[in-house]
Amino acid sequence: MKTKIEAVIFDMDGLIIDSEPLWKIAEIESFKEIGFDFTKQMCALTTGMRIDEVVHYWRKKLKWGKSLRKRGY
């Protein structure tokens, strides 16, 4: 007998599953890949923001732009 799925829960804010530690690792590794020495303390400054807000914040703060475009990012 097949079970009919009636609802799906998406946990995007860490309420059910604490994904913040994994996000910090991904954030640090991603910034390292484009040449920034990123720390856990820096991650704390953007905890709770959406990804587009995080990118906007760090793009402005670290003044990246042309230098990354030259490297192909």
Which of 13, 18, 37, 52 is the catalytic position? 13
Q: Is 11 a catalytic residue?
A: yes
Mean pLDDT score, 44-60: 90
pLDDT tens across 14-41, in order?
778 888 888 899 999 998 988 888 898 9
Q: Is 18 a catalytic residue?
A: no
* pTM of the full structure: 0.64
Which of 11, 18, 37, 52 is the catalytic position? 11
pLDDT at 6 over 70: yes
Q: Which two tokens stand for residue 41?
A: 């303390």
DSSP output for 5-69: P-------SSSSS--HHHHHHHHHHHHHHTT----HHHHHTTTT--HHHHHHHHHHHHT-SHHHH
